[in-house]
Amino acid sequence: MSEITPDLVRHLANLARIDVNENEVALFADQLNLIVDSVAAIKDAVAGDVPATSHPIAMANVFREDVIEPSLTQEQALSGAADSADGRFRVHAILDEE
Amino acid sequence: MAKDELMNYEKALEQFEVVIGLEVHVELNTNTKMFCGCRNEFGNEPNTNVCPICIGLPGSLPAVNKKAVESSIKIGLQLGCEIAPNGRFARKNYFYPDLAKNFQTSQFDEPIAFEGALDVEVPSGKVFTIQIERAHMEEDAGKLTHVGGSTGRIQGAEYSLVDYNRAGVPLVEIVTKPVYGAGAEAPELAAAYVRLIREIVKSMNVSDARMERGNVRCDANVSLRPHGQEKLGTRTETKNVNSLRSIERAVRYEIQRQAALLAKGVAITQETRHWHEDKGATSSGRPKSDADDYRYFPEPDLVPVQPSKAWIEEIRATLPENPADRRKRVQAEWGFADLEFRDVVNAGLLDQIEETVKAGAKPQAARKWWTGELARIANTQDQDVTDLEISGAYVAELAGLVEAGKINDRLAREVLTFVLAGEGSPAQVVAARGLEVVSDDGALIAAIEAALAKQPDVLDAIREGRMQAAGAVIGAVMQAMKGSADAGRVRELLIEMANK
Amino acid sequence: MSDLIRKSASEQAELLRTGQVSSVELTQAHLDRTAAVDGDVHSYLHVGPEAALAAAADIDRRRAAGEQLHQLAGLPIAVKDNLTTTDAPTTSGSKILEGWVPPYDATVVAKLRAAGMPILGKTNLDEFAMGSSTEFSAYGPSKNPWDLGRIPGGSGGGSSSVVASFQAPLAIGSDTGGSIRYPAFVTGTVGAKPTYGAVSRYGLIALASSLDQVGPVSRNVLDSALLQDVIAGHDPHDSTSLPESLGSMAEAAKKLDVKGMRIGVIKQLNGEGFAAGVSARFNESLQLLQQAGAEIVEVDCPSFEYAIAAYYLILPAEASSNLAKFDSVRFGLRVTPEGTPTIERVMAATREAGFGPEVKRRIILGTYALSSGYYDAYYGSAQKVRTLIQRDFDAAFAKADVLVSPTAPSVAFKFGEKLDDPLAMYLNDIATIPANLAGIPGIAVPNGLAEENMPSGIQFLAPAREDARLYQVGATLEKLHEDVWGKRMIDFAPELQEAR
Ligand SMILES: [Mg+2]
Ligand SMILES: [Zn+2]
């Protein structure tokens, strides 16, 4: 119980790039605890040596030939963007490295 | 950027053992991108080689380029790796505006190739075996341009522009195991390793391998530990090292920087660092943090890659000679002495010389041009000689013109600058600029007589056997004819005139 | 209401083929019905009369010219708003995509256009298909035509209500854990989730890639079969698309015969936890099937106990990654916070404002399930449960040709009843989820009125690629019901008040 602390919610929201206010932090912490508790039993279900299934229908080696297909025009590519300039998507400054 | 304190290199190596690790990203030269049919091409108008898939529009799905898988297998085999019978793609989740889906489709615990080894020779002639941990397939990110502020850097930029033409270009990331025991030669080994990777991917024609275009990019991990200590030191990962020279310099710099800190008892921060070619220094980037939780999981939109034994063998049969065998063969063919050959290898010029010899040049002439004048020009331009815009065929043509006496060495060097400037082949430059040597006796005699008029004693001196006196006249004739005189012929004519 | 629109899709198609009605007339009749009732029902997020009528006129022209047309040509259809369309906005029920018009058509949409089916509009859904009631649509809920105070199911409540209220003869849905079948259950309609990979997901805005499947929604079994035949088939743009054809579903739906068919009742999805009326109707149908010659057996699927838990880890995990692309850069909403914002802050503010509470809850849960230190316990375990559930199905299908259960535990609930209780909401999916985890096909068929005179339904499941069996048994039961009731299930529904 209470595996999901408010701090963990803030950390996860940050990883997921979602602003959360303090009310949401508290609410999500409560609700996620309930959900996590309800799914916890799953760990026992697979105690033995069970392989994981990532794809419901087993297939392999699905490839595309290396052949050029039509691209979007620059105008189409930028058509949905909130902001663009010089044929490129425009974003706010990046606060990161250097 | 605060100035780092550096420890003297020799002193650093006395105190610490160097451990390096290298991650090399190789952009494949397929026609299309890794997961969509957009053109894989450098230098086009921004956002014209893009589609719903590579700009990550809602609803789009990836589809794997078979040629890219084949090229990855080729690289794996040539690195002596095992090819995974069951490889999967995985999503590496992190937010960054050059990453259209905010996850990179890559490979995590099931890379296509693993456990290889490569023998790498450093300039001293010593050979190190570098263990390859893995080579995996992934996609490149788009290109960010920072606008406003200073010098196009992130810092101080007002905004950034994103071009996704490069987003989704197939990459193979080759990761070494930690490399021990290179000592003082660690920087040279790092550069020699990357040079060899370039040689390998170029020889198989799976990548254009042009570092200045980012076709081959290297991240260098460096850590130090006191001699005799078992536990590895904290490492830094220097990014942005995109020429062979800077790899060598960056590794050396990190060794000296870390040694200075450790000697003062300061712990190394595990972080990304950036290499600045202009300053010849690294600077601190982002420290490793909780935000580096990439939450890898198997890519549900792609099915596993399970290359059959038959397919792998089919690919293996197409591999070119491996680099070590090839070196033995060409050295014998060209008849180069060991030292000569080592210079060629260290400069990464095997391909160029082979191409030049194939185009008709004598091996020694080819070697002389590439390791001599061309290397010198590259050096003054802070470029790698292999990145010069000149083909082996042109170099062979140039050597041919010299041998035929059409131009002399001095003119040849001049011709070369015009060829590099894109004025055409050496023969075209000679014709267009009238750079042929003058061996027309009439013109030469007139010039010699003019020179003798100012130095009347020279003919006497020659008659007395003091041949060095001829030099002054030859020099004057050369100067008068702007270097296009055939010096040998001038000397002959002078002797004739003296003996008349 | 015109009698024309009360007819089944196959009857309407027949009228088109024989020239008794034009596509323009038929399309207009449905648009008129929408104008009359959708103010109350709110099935649509977008209605496109111009595009639909233009497509209809085109088909009428081609038919008049004697062109060979698809058997459903001219029959209008509604499409869930999580499939991309170039001529209509595509929002997936989210504010973050408000007004976005994609530059490409989903493969399913392209197939509808190729068959000549005019697209009436885009139907409502819970935001990004996360929900069981449409209450999580950012644009307000759709209503259940049987009782406007109740939910029409979710996430595809728009598609179920649009056919239940005769606004469209057919609709496209998508089913990740029951989003086609649960809405069918609560609205007395038919919906099928094909085998994973039978219908292309290209252009379907992904919720959980390894669970999502596009499928048909209709008022009777044959109509769904006809529609699955239009939209199914291999698509090179979807790497998980099945390479082989599964045959004609319409042919199967015409075999009204269950003699000798072994029908397995799933022990874990019967009795306890299911409303009395729902169970009573279920048992009556088993009797009907038995009387018609089917053999009823019981099968045991012990791992189903963990199905909801596995589902509510896999779904949010995949969704957290799939929804990362909604970042304000290339499409959709951008919210710029006060001050001098950085791209990181803009992304976080946009996602805060653009996503509703259920979406945020699931993204955060999925981020948790994948994060380092928890992956093995949660996502890893869930993927293993998936294997156990597949094994349960394998064992069950060794004893039975198809499996059967009530589609859901209880009839449509009233708006707001479960809104603040995610766990209660998730329980609606208890019977539908196992099929998605295993990738097998399922069909929901009306099964008579249960509590409060609201519809209930029955679900059949078949082994992967055996979708045809579902249409055969479903159509047979439907016929048996109509023989007993003297009319179709939908004819029990109360008349909606028309606005004009
Ligand atoms: Mg990488
Ligand atoms: Zn593309």
Average pLDDT of C119-135?
97
Instruction: Measure the CA angle with vertex B475, ends B471 and B479; round to 5°.
Output: 175
The runs of H, that is alpha helices, within C267-380 are 276-291, 307-322, 343-354, 357-370
Confidence band, pLDDT 50/70/90 cuts, at residue A1:
very low
Which segments within B122-270 are labelled E, that is strand? 127-139, 143-147, 159-163, 170-176, 216-226, 236-241
Tally the residues of chain C: 500
Q: Which chains have at least 3 CB atom pairs separated by less than 8 Å from chain C? A: A, B
Q: Is the pLDDT of residue C116 over 90?
A: yes
According to DSSP, the β-strands at C170-174 and C190-193 are unpaired
| Structural domain contains residue C20 | yes
Q: Specify the residue for token string 């404002």.
A: C353
Identify whether the C-beta of residue A4 lies closer than 8 Å to the C-beta of residue A10: no
Judge whether C2 counts as a catalytic residue.
Answer: no
Find the mean pLDDT for residues C224-248: 98
Pick from B57, B303, B312 the residue to mutate for testing the A interface (most A CBs within 10 Å). B303
> CB C343 to CB B97 under 8 A?
yes
Tens digits of residue pLDDT in A55-68: 999 999 999 999 99
Query: Is C358 inside a domain boundary?
Result: no
Work out the number of other CB atoms within 10 angstroms of the CB of residue C176.
29
Cα(B286)–Cα(C9) distance, integer angstroms: 60
Helix axes B392-403, B426-433, angle to 10 degrees: 50
For C136-204, list the strands marked E by DSSP.
170-174, 190-193
- pLDDT at residue B204 greater than cutoff 60: yes
Listed by start position, the domains of chain B span: 9-312, 321-433, 441-499
**Residue A98: is its pLDDT beyond 60?**
no
End-to-end distance of chain B based on CA atoms, in angstroms? 74
Q: Averaged over C379-400, what is the pLDDT?
A: 97
Reported in sequence order, the residue ranges of B416-462 that DSSP labels E, i.e. its strands, are none
Q: What is the pLDDT of residue B199?
A: 87
Q: Quick: pLDDT tens for B40-84.
A: 999 999 999 999 999 999 999 999 999 999 999 999 999 999 999
Query: Residue B31: pLDDT band by 50, 70, 90 thresholds?
Result: very high
| Residues in a beta bridge with B160 | A91, B146
What rounded mean pLDDT belongs to chain A? 91
Single-letter amino acid, residue B400 = G
**Domain contains C362:** no
For chain A, the chains sharing at least 3 beta-carbon pairs closer than 8 angstroms are: B, C
- Hey, what are B198's tokens? 């370039």
What is the percent of chain C with per-residue pLDDT over 90, rounded to a whole number? 95
What average pLDDT does the segment B292-318 reach? 96
Percent of chain B clearing pLDDT 90 (strictly above): 68
The larger pLDDT score, comparing residue B313 to residue B342, is at B313
Residue B289 has pLDDT above 80, yes or no: no
Name the pairing type of β-strands B103-106 and B90-93. Answer: antiparallel
Token duo for residue C303: 């791992």
Q: Is the pLDDT of residue B115 over 90?
A: yes
* Inter-chain touch A71–B39, beta carbons under 8 Å: yes
Residue of B nearest to C206 (CA): B59
Over 80: is that where the pLDDT of B154 sits? no
pLDDT digits (tens, 9 = 90+) for C70-115: 999 999 999 999 999 999 999 999 999 999 999 999 999 999 999 9
Cross-chain Cβ contact B61/C347 below 8 Å: no
Report percent pLDDT > 70 for chain B.
98
On the question of pLDDT at B286 being above 80, the answer is no
CATH code assigned at C410: 3.90.1300.10
Q: Which domain holds residue C399?
A: 2-300+394-492
Exposed (0-12), middle (13-18) or buried (19+): which is C101, by Cβ within 10 Å?
middle
Cβ C132 vs Cβ C479: under 8 Å: no
Q: Give the whole-angstrom CA distance, residue B97 versus residue C141.
A: 34
Asked if residue B448 lies in contact with residue B480, where contact means CB atoms within 8 angstroms, the answer is no
Report every protein residue that has its C-beta within 5 angstroms of ion ligand 2.
B 36, 38, 51, 53-54
Q: What's the whole-model pTM score? A: 0.89
A16-25, B404-413, C131-140, C460-469: range with lowest mean pLDDT: B404-413
Lowest mean pLDDT, pick from B451-455, C141-145, C399-403: B451-455
Is-contact B169 B140, C-beta < 8 A? yes
Pairing of strands C77-80, C170-174: parallel
CA distance A26 to chain B (A): 21
Catalytic residue flag (residue C133): no
B238 phi, psi to nearest 5 deg: -90, 120
Look up residue C131 and give its amino acid: G
Omega before C155 within 30 of 0, i.e. cis: yes
Kindly state whether B187 is in contact with chain A, defined as any CB-CB distance less than 8 angstroms: no
The mean pLDDT of C339-358, rounded to a whole number, is: 94
Residue C347 with chain A: CB contacts under 8 Å:
17
Taking the centre of ligand 1 as the mean of its atom positions, its distance from the CA of residue B297, in whole angstroms, is 15
**pLDDT of amino acid B192:** 93
> In this complex, is the C-beta atom of A74 within 8 Å of any C-beta atom belonging to chain B?
yes
**Of the listed C80, C111, C122, C193, which one is catalytic?**
C80
The C-alpha atoms of residue B306 and residue B112 are separated, in whole angstroms, by 9
Domain count, chain C: 1
Q: Which of C312, C303, C306 is nearest to A35 (CA)?
A: C312
C40 located within any domain = yes
Cα separation, A10 vs C370, in Å, equals 16
User: Tell me, what's the pLDDT at B485?
Assistant: 81
Phi, psi values for residue C66, rounded to 5°: 80, 15
Cα radius of gyration (chain C): 21
Residue with tokens 């007002």: B158
Q: Which of B248, B186, B277 is nearest to B223 (CA)?
A: B186
Mind listing the pLDDT tens digit for each residue in C282-338?
999 999 999 999 999 999 999 999 999 999 999 999 999 999 999 999 999 999 999
DSSP SS3 for C192: strand
Between these two residues, B149 and C190, which has the higher pLDDT value? Answer: C190
How far away, in angstroms, is B69 Cα from ligand 2 center? Answer: 17
How many Cα atoms sit within 13 Å of B57 on the Cβ side? 31
What is the tens place of the pLDDT at every residue in C390-446? 999 999 999 999 999 999 999 999 999 988 888 888 888 999 999 999 999 999 999
The interface pTM score, or ipTM, of the predicted complex is 0.96
Residue B175 neighbours by CB under 8 Å, 6+ apart: B21, B22, B23, B132, B133, B134, B135, B136
Q: Do A13 and C364 touch (CB under 8 A)?
A: yes
Question: Distance of alpha carbon C104 from its chain centroid, rounded?
Answer: 22
The amino acid at B5: E
> Between β-strands C402-406 and C262-266, what pairing exists: parallel, antiparallel or unpaired?
parallel
List CB contacts of B278: < 8 A, sequence separation 6 or more. none
Q: Do A62 and C331 touch (CB under 8 A)?
A: no
Domains of chain A: total:
1
Distances in Å between the alpha carbon of A96 and those of B283, B285, B286? Answer: 13, 8, 7
Q: How confident is the model at residue B150 (pLDDT cuts 50, 70, 90)?
A: low
**Contact status, residue B197 vs residue B25, Cβ threshold 8 Å:** no
Measured CA to CA, the distance from residue A38 to residue C378 in angstroms comes to: 12
Residue A20 domain-assigned (yes or no):
yes
Residues B25 and B217 sit within 8 Å (Cβ to Cβ): yes
Most confident of B197-211, B280-294, B474-488, C227-241: C227-241
Instruction: Answer yes or no: C328 catalytic.
Output: no
Question: Based on the number of CB atoms within 10 Å of its own CB, is C64 exposed (0-12), middle (13-18) or buried (19 or more)?
Answer: exposed
CA–CA gap between residue B89 and residue B79 (Å, rounded): 21
